[in-house]
Chains A and B, each alone.
Chain A
Amino acid sequence: MTYVDKPAIPKVVKFDEPNAKLRNKLDVMLNTGSDIYQGACKKRGSTLKDEYRKVAGVAYMDPKDMAKLGVSNWDHVKVISDWGEVVVNAAHSRDAPHEGTIFIPKGPWANVVVSPETYCCCDPTYKGIMCTVEKSDDDVLLMADLMRAVYKKYVNKDDEEGIKDLATLGEMPVYKKL
């Protein structure tokens, strides 16, 4: 579908600053919000599919930050904040430069790391979250698997390892038909 295809992101990962050093961990500020690709995919209803993972399970980063971490487009990074941690794809931001800031479109992946604190103003703090980013070898989970792994509503809550080994729920609705 052309409505959810993303334009090719230029593969700019050059480590050209003479004084910069490769590092394992980067302290950044996280912003979340809507993005046209995430919006189109969500409202079409294609949330179970890989295309939603590609548009919402992604951290848009400044190319310089990516170079510091040594990641290229579609490499996996782990984002850790006070409220949780989640593995997402890294991609070169089209709004760069914004060194020290990453953007994850709103969606189940971003939700794991944003702050539920409303400060009595009803609205959670979705923007300006301090977090760290590091390279990761784990897979970015599909939406259904992510919801199961994070909220554990219908699985044994204490069996962390067992949840990891469960078969994937896939990209199509799973339910018992009459």
Chain B
Amino acid sequence: MANYEPPVTDYESIVENCTCAFCGCNCDDLDYLIKDGHVVGVRHACRLGASKIMEDMDQRLLVPMIRGEDGELAETDWDSALDKAAELIAGAVRPIFYGWSETSIETMHHGLELGELVGAVLDNQATICHGPSLQAVQNAGYPISTLGEVKNRADMCLYTGSNAMNSHPRHMARYSTFPRGYFRPRGRFDRTVVTLDPKYSDTAKMSDIWVGFEQNGDYEFYNAIRAVLKGKKLQKEFISGIPKEDVEELAEAMKNVQFGALFFGLGLTHTLSKQRNIDIAIQMVADLNSYTKWILMPMRGHFNVNGFNIFMAFETGFPYGVDFARGYQRYMNGETNTIDLLTRKECDVFMVIAADPGAHYPGGAVKHLAEIPVIQVDIHWGPSTEIADVVLPGSFVGVEVGGTSYRMDGVPIWMKKAIDKPETCRDDEWIIKEILERVKKIKAEQGALASK
């Protein structure tokens, strides 16, 4: 046991029932062990959640910074940094406000007002992960349930294009596979776990059935299952590299459960058929519902990525990529989404809030960020800081400040505050509100000048 780490016993107090600020599982049973105003240990969290909450203070952004003429970031006071950010935003023709998925709904509220005022595009991480899923939901419907229902009822859990053990480590433990539910008293033994993935992933390794079809074979494979469900005979011997007998056997197994849950991840949205993969998966779930109960759920990545989509859909009617350039909201895939705007070099000021485009955008999109001013509101020094011109240190939602977030199944959860933030940092909500006030002031001055 070379890697064994003894439990943390050196702490002053415990804050119980905190909500994890990592993935869309939003586990709300974490206990933080606090010493000297820092979280020194986390109970119940997965490796990812614990590593995020017990952050690396070496790279914590602590002071506002502005990039000087010499290309180096220099510390400054809050007023100058906020004025600089407001000046850039007020002078922008086609600004994008991107991010929002790791901050609270309360912050988004002010961000939306700011976006409407200056005619910005508001977009979140869905644009590079589950955007196609949202399009498919608009195309084909959204047969969803809560995770509690999955826990209590599901006897088949199917993961497709998702490596839950790596990206949502507690999903199987807390919601789908292992927990004992009302109708599944024996937990794991009462459920069948199926993984559909070209890769023999860590999730596949612990499943009962692994179907390793070809890369980009998703669309054909689901269609084959649909055909079998409709009583058709498969004409080909192999479907996406899988023998047709196996496809028929899987379809039969899926038909004969009491409650099935299909969880899908970025394996579907990042391959070539994009939203069509999910269209067909949703239709497959619809077909399965003529035999038994099946539901489908996207495995959302950040703790509030679903929150932004729900918030924007409620406020503007569109889930992400909402463009206010004409003064009213527009949404057009391929036109008002961040990656397309950047590769077409349309954007002229980019504000990133609680996200890291430097780490997660394709190089072709980051190249344009290297040509325009970038404002960053975040808690850690990351790849985006390397290309940022104004840096505003925010605070850690769910640890240092409270806020509302939405779990992947759409259940809103209040994330409470456990410790105080570093003195020199500010809340995200305060930062966006301040920028809004300052932009309003600049606009009012411009208006007064114009009317003279």
Residues of A within 8 A of B365 (CB): 116, 124
- Give A87 to B74 CA distance when docked, in angstroms: 31
Name the interface residues of A85-112: CB closer than 8 Å to any CB of B. Answer: 94-98, 101, 103, 106-108, 111-112
Are the CB atoms of B74 and A175 closer together than 8 Å? yes
Name the interface residues of A61-87: CB closer than 8 Å to any CB of B. Answer: 83-84
For residue B390, give the distance in angstroms from its CB to the closest CB of chain A.
Answer: 13
Complex: chain A residue closest to B380, CB-CB: A45
Are the CB atoms of A147 and B387 closer together than 8 Å? yes
Contact with B along A159-178 (1 / 0, CB 8 A): 00000000000001111111
- Give A34 to B169 CA distance when docked, in angstroms: 12
Residues of B within 8 A of A125 (CB): 270-272
Residues of A within 8 A of B163 (CB): 33-34
Given contacts A2-B5, A144-B386, A175-B72, contact A116 B364 (CB under 8 A): yes
Q: Which of A108, A177, A178 contacts B358, CB < 8 Å?
A: A108
Q: Count residues on chain B whose CB falls below 8 Å from chain A CBs.
A: 80
Complex: chain A residue closest to B343, CB-CB: A116
Are the CB atoms of B362 and A154 closer together than 8 Å? no
- Give A104 to B52 CA distance when docked, in angstroms: 22
Does any Cβ of A come within 8 Å of B339's Cβ? yes
Does any Cβ of B come within 8 Å of A13's Cβ? no
Does any Cβ of A come within 8 Å of B443's Cβ? no
Are the CB atoms of A39 and B166 closer together than 8 Å? yes
Interface range, A side: 35 or more
Chain B residues near A (Cβ < 8 Å): 3, 5, 22, 47-48, 50-52, 54-56, 58-60, 63, 65, 67-68, 71-76, 127-129, 131-132, 135, 163, 165-167, 169, 198-202, 215-216, 266-267, 269-272, 274-275, 301, 321, 333-334, 337, 339-340, 343, 356, 358-367, 369-371, 379-383, 385-387
Chain A residues near B (Cβ < 8 Å): 2-5, 7, 29, 31, 33-36, 39-49, 83-84, 94-98, 101, 103, 106-108, 111-116, 118-128, 143-144, 147-148, 150-155, 172-178
Closest 10 A/B residue pairs (Cβ): A120-B334, A154-B71, A116-B364, A45-B380, A122-B337, A43-B52, A147-B386, A116-B362, A175-B73, A40-B51
Q: Could you give 30 example pairs across A and B, Cβ below 8 Å?
A: A3-B47, A3-B51, A33-B267, A35-B166, A45-B381, A47-B381, A48-B59, A83-B362, A101-B215, A103-B199, A106-B359, A107-B359, A111-B362, A116-B339, A116-B363, A119-B334, A121-B333, A122-B339, A123-B128, A124-B365, A125-B271, A127-B271, A128-B272, A143-B386, A144-B386, A151-B367, A151-B370, A173-B59, A176-B72, A176-B74
